A = this chain, B = another copy of it.
Amino acid sequence: MGSVEEKSKPEGIVNGAHTNLLEEMKLLKEFQDQSGIRKAINSELWYACAGPLVSLPQVGSLVYYFPQGHSEQVAVSTKRSATSQIPNYPNLPSQLLCQVHNVTLHADKDTDEIYAQMSLQPVNSERDVFPIPDFGLKPSKHPMPRRAAEKLFPPLDFSMQPPSQELVVRDLHDNTWTFRHIYRGQPKRHLLTTGWSLFVGSKRLKAGDSVLFIRNEKSQLMVGVRRANRQQTTLPSSVLSADSMHIGVLAAAAHAAGNRSPFTIFYNPRACPSDFVIPLIKFRKAVFGTQVSAGMRFGMMFETEESGKRRYMGTIVGVSDLDPLRWPGSKWRNLQVEWDEPGCSDRQNRVSSWEIETPESLFIFPSLTSGLKRPLQSGFLGDTEWGSLVKKPLAWLPGSGNANLPYASMSNIYSEQLVNMLMKPQAVNYPGICGTALPEVSAVKVASSDVTNVQAAVNHTSHLNQSGIMSVENQNYSQICLDQSNAMNSSSSKERVAGKSLYLSKVENSSASWNY
């Protein structure tokens, strides 16, 4: 009985110490489990879950950190804006030049909601940066689009009746999930049945959320979730007031700015209204490279409900401070805009200059546009408005526009090291213009909502061309999007509608279907 174990046990005190060590290791593991740092998170899947517009700065690069934007992330999550009880931090500028020290990818332990942790080091000027030692950590691996297309799921054995197989997939925490994949029905279709609803329930997915499949470097199937747009869960605050959270954000930055000491932030792309850590090059290009003024036309990319990208057009109607008292002179959302389309009123009516595309921004990097395969792919006005802009940029330059430094001139006054860092970011995202943008989410088709059986369709990218979303070939992940229509609506006819809390349980009971 357990002799081997007995023999390996040291005696007395040492044994006790050993027990304590084990206990500590257990606690450490728990800690790591909770923080999601025990295993390196698959970055490709992380980006896929983050959505098509999200990019993270490169370690070592220079960025501007915007406390206002960070505060907005808190405001959205707590559904409370900053109040008058929040102190001013006169020594905290509206934009803080920082060097990125560390970027780690995380996901909520339960729901797989993704977020990133960044350590930022305030610097006085570009000269203060120092080489970031390579700790042996691989730089976060980035999705490499344009990989060869392939069927994501293993092919079925069609000699079976019906053809079926078990799909074993891993989530961001390396938990395995098993889905039954079967080809049946009339007409024949592919379905995910057994195991699917357990997954949907466990991740607390709601109608409108998306499920992504991807293959990792070992060719293992992985699965992630992408919450529907801005439908974030409010974080319960029975312990900490929203004010305290706002203050925590601002005070941390203020303290770090004063001491030039690093500080840590969480960035939750799906919750955050706008990115608040902006690569220096992107900021400079927008702020110094472009002259914006009232009346100017612009375009801006948004994620569509189908999780694709779409450009919306608008007009700048004013330039003014968002918060003249607390943040005078801030560049954060200092552009007042009007959107061309009605129904955009719920969209923000203030944007920052680095979020938008203007005729000038296209002119600054003319070479980039030439390498773009589909520069006019999914824009609202498509060839008509933007096309003419790109082809005749000079006609759109305001008289004073050229007085500002375009990037090519600016680079002369900075060190080579800085220029390298500025150019280094892998995923500086110039939506719709730059070829280095993240892969498009192209495959979205929504399936039926059944009172008892919400079915969501999976479509492989290369086979879909509908809903106004451009088909992009060579994409390496698939996506399932749960139907957003209220299941209650379609439940009118049948008596299978049984009663209370039906909607919730319905969403959780679902299968996925698609067809090649």
Contacts and interface: CB of A to CB of B under 8 A. Distances in A.
A245 B237 CA distance: 11
B34 A238 contact: no
A268 B115 contact: no
A223 interface: no
B236 A240 contact: no
Contacts of A106: 238
B263 A252 contact: no
A198 B505 CA distance: 13
A374 to B, nearest CB: 34
A120 to B, nearest CB: 11
B234 A34 contact: yes
A34 B79 contact: yes
Contact of A255 (B87, B117, B255, B265): B87
Contacts of A286: none
Interface string A241-279: 101111111111001000101111110100100000000
A113 interface: yes
A85 interface: yes
Nearest to A244: B248
A180 B370 CA distance: 73
A108 interface: yes
A14 interface: no
B266 A241 contact: yes
A241 B264 contact: yes
Interface in A207-250: 234-241, 243-250
B247 A251 contact: yes
Contacts of A114: 238
Q: Is the contact region of chain A dominated by helix, strand, or loop, or is it mixed?
A: mixed
Interface in A73-126: 73-74, 77, 79-80, 85, 87, 106, 108, 110, 113-115, 117
A263 B241 CA distance: 10
Taking residues whose C-beta sits less than 8 angstroms from the other chain, chain A's interface range is 35 or more
A235 B234 contact: no
B500 A198 contact: yes
Contacts of A77: 239-240
A153 interface: no
Contacts of A266: 237-241, 244
B255 A248 contact: no
Given A247-B252, A248-B246, A248-B251, A238 B198 contact: no
A236 B108 CA distance: 8
B238 A108 contact: yes
Interface string A486-513: 0000000000000010000000000000
A108 B235 CA distance: 11
A238 B268 contact: yes
A239 B79 contact: no
A87 B262 CA distance: 11
Instruction: Give the interface centre of A235, A236, A265, A268 by most chain B CB atoms within 10 Å.
Output: A236
Instruction: Give the interface centre of A80, A234, A240 by most chain B CB atoms within 10 Å.
Output: A240
A252 B244 contact: yes
A458 B5 CA distance: 47
A108 B236 CA distance: 8
Nearest to A258: B87
A115 B252 contact: no
A234 B110 CA distance: 12
A268 B236 CA distance: 12
A268 to B, nearest CB: 5
A176 to B, nearest CB: 13
Contacts of A241: 117, 264-266
Contacts of A108: 236, 238
Nearest to A265: B241
Nearest to A240: B245
A471 to B, nearest CB: 33
B247 A255 contact: yes
12 contacts: A74-B240, A85-B264, A117-B241, A198-B500, A235-B238, A235-B239, A239-B268, A240-B248, A240-B249, A243-B252, A245-B245, A247-B247
Q: Give 3 closest A-B pairs by Cβ, nearest first.
A: A248-B248, A251-B251, A244-B248
Given A247-B252, A248-B249, 10 more contacts: A34-B79, A114-B238, A235-B236, A235-B238, A238-B266, A239-B268, A239-B271, A241-B265, A244-B252, A246-B248
